[in-house]
Structure 1
Amino acid sequence: MASVLRKAIVGCARQLPRCMIARRRSTTSGFAAVDSILLRSLRDHYEEVAKMTPPPKVSPPSSFTIVKGALDTHGPVLKRTYGSEQISIYVTRLGNIIRGGDNDDDDDDGINQLFLHVEMSKPGQKNSLLFLCGLYPDALGIHSVSMRPNLESEGILVVPSQYTGPSFQDLDERMRDALHSYIEERGVNESLFPFLQAWLYVKDNRNLMHWFRQVGQYISGKNHAKGT
């Protein structure tokens, strides 16, 4: 049986249209009764997620270091130095962007597809090289390669405003192969998948618990304000 967290992660895109359908008006009367029901539901879900067993601890490849505090930010997860280059890896999920069918297999696909932003920079260079990639348990695929200005502050991804280059699929096979070799030479390949998958599970778990807690605190605060 799929866990609450797994369903929360991979079911969002599929359930959105259904969630937008108007429901019947509740017959429950009184603000206090409605708030109490919601708070109880939030508490029950929070406790259920808190009891989940985390995945086994996985270390990244030895050439990479985990960025301190990455679980609490939208910044890079992993970094490494390759010669004079600084390489930063950002990660999110790819599988819940476009979904099809109603099989449980779709849930597994959503967990097993990651989206990487790989930023490479060199001292004295105004621009950095950005690879956007799909990462799977047994493969890495490049979606695009572009140049963008270096960032003065870490942890923020900026969408390039200038020409970003041709579509990766429009490049000839020899250049595509060379770009794959270039990024894989720097350790960006399927060996990153086990760590990043486990890391995202922990982050999603923390985010979900944080959401339950924040909504509960807001509702509780509103109750308190009414009583004053």
Structure 2
Amino acid sequence: MRKARGLVQKGCKAVQDLNLLKLLQSEIQHELSSDPFPTSRSSSLGDFVVEWDSPQTQDVVLRRKLESGEEVAVSAMLGPISPWAADKEDSLYPRHGEMKICVKKPGLSSLLQFDCVILEDGYGFRIRDCYYLHSPARIGPSVYRGRCFHDLDSKLRSALKGYLAAKGIGEELTNCLLHCLHKKEQGQYVNWLHKLESFVAKAAKPE
């Protein structure tokens, strides 16, 4: 009787594994055949080059060196899922982007840092905060970073956004970044599904 019960349990587990395997294969096929994030018409990295884009991480780092010798570094990753995105019929992306921009003058250790949010395709980006960092290696909680960006004069806020635009930070770049980040996450999800499929397939094989 104990042996029969063991065989029944093994049989049930095999059926469950096979059902899970079919579901995983169906999900993989769906992800590979669909394109939920079509490339925007106004999507380009411009003069920026990709410095870091590891398939094992969530972030992407871009860099550009201007003729003046200034260096502009951009790092970006996806933010949390927007709870209201699913309710918007025209919403293309379920998540916004978190972007950090650093501008450094040649021969100086100081830099300007901008913390930004990449908005939905077609809306560009919004600056959250702007900092002047005398020495990035010596940043601490007591270092004064300036007033909150939304407390600054509206003309100054507009001028700072124009300053970034002159460095190549515009809607084309942010559209491209948001697209690339979502495609990267989709690729990581498919890779995870493949690993799970392989694990379940081995468990479902009869001994």
Same fold by TM-score, threshold 0.5 exceeded? yes
Query: Which structure has the larger Rg over C-alpha atoms?
Result: 2
- The equivalent of 1:169 in structure 2 is 150
Contact 2:80 2:96 in 1 (8 A): yes
Match of 1:22 in 2: none
Question: How far is the alpha carbon of 1:144 from its aligned partner?
Answer: 0.9
2:29 equivalent to 1:47: yes
Residue 143 (structure 1) aligned with residue 128 (structure 2)? yes
Secondary structure, aligned partner of 2:91? helix
Question: Within 1, Cα distance between the matches of 2:92 and 2:33?
Answer: 25
Which residue does the alignment assign to 1:108?
A: 91
Structure 2 runs not aligned, ≥5 long: 1-10
Deviation at residue 175 of structure 1 after TM alignment: 2.6
**1:35 paired to 2:35:** no
- Change in 2 beyond 3 A, CA 1:90/1:205: same
Gaps in structure 1 of 5+ consecutive residues? 1-28, 152-158
2:104 to 117, 121, 125: 121
> What is the CA-CA distance between 1:50 and the residue it aligns to?
1.2
What CA distance in whole angstroms lies between the structure 2 residues aligned with 1:209 and 1:160?
A: 40
1:91–1:138 distance in 2 versus 1, CA, 3 Å:
same
Task: Answer whether contact 2:17 2:204 (CA < 8 A) is retained.
Answer: no
Alpha-carbon distance in structure 2 between the residues aligned to 1:55 and 1:102: 17
Q: Verify the 8 A CA contact 1:121 1:150 in the aligned structure 2.
A: no
Q: CA deviation at 1:165?
A: 3.1
Residue in structure 1 matched with residue 114 of structure 2 by the alignment: 131
CA contact (8 A) 1:76 1:88 kept: no
- Corresponding letter in the other structure for 1:131: F
The answer to whether the 8 Å contact 2:78/2:96 transfers is yes
Alpha-carbon separation, structure 2, partners of 1:162 and 1:125: 22
Distance 1:205 1:110, change over 3 A: closer
1:179 aligns with 2:150: no
Q: Which residue of 1 aligns with 2:8?
A: none
Which whole-Å CA distance do the structure 2 matches of 1:101 and 1:224 have between them? Answer: 38
AA at the equivalent of 2:46: S
Pairwise CA distance, 1:45: 0.4
- Identity of matched residues, %: 20
1:167-204, Cα deviation, whole Å (9 max, x unpaired): 11122223322321221210112121332233234212
Of 189, 214, 218, the residue aligned with 2:170 is: 189
The equivalent of 1:156 in structure 2 is none
Q: Which has the higher contact order (CA 8 A, sep 6+)?
A: 2
Deviation at 1:132, TM superposition (A): 1.5
The Cα offsets for residues 40-62 of structure 1, whole Å up to 9 and x where unpaired, read as 21111011111224735876243
CA distance in 2, matches of 1:31, 1:147: 60
Q: How does 1:6-85 map to 2 (within 5 A)?
A: 30-53=12-35, 55-56=38-39, 60-67=44-51, 69-70=53-54, 73-82=57-66, 83-85=68-70
Structure-1 separation of matches of 2:50 and 2:96: 20
Distance of aligned partners of 1:57 and 1:184 in 2 relative to their CA distance in 1, 3 Å threshold: closer
Q: Secondary structure at the match of 1:60?
A: coil
Give the equivalent residue in structure 2 for 1:208.
189
Relative distance call for 1:121 and 1:209 in structure 2 (3 A) is same
Residues 160 and 202 of structure 1, relative CA distance in 2, 3 Å threshold:
farther
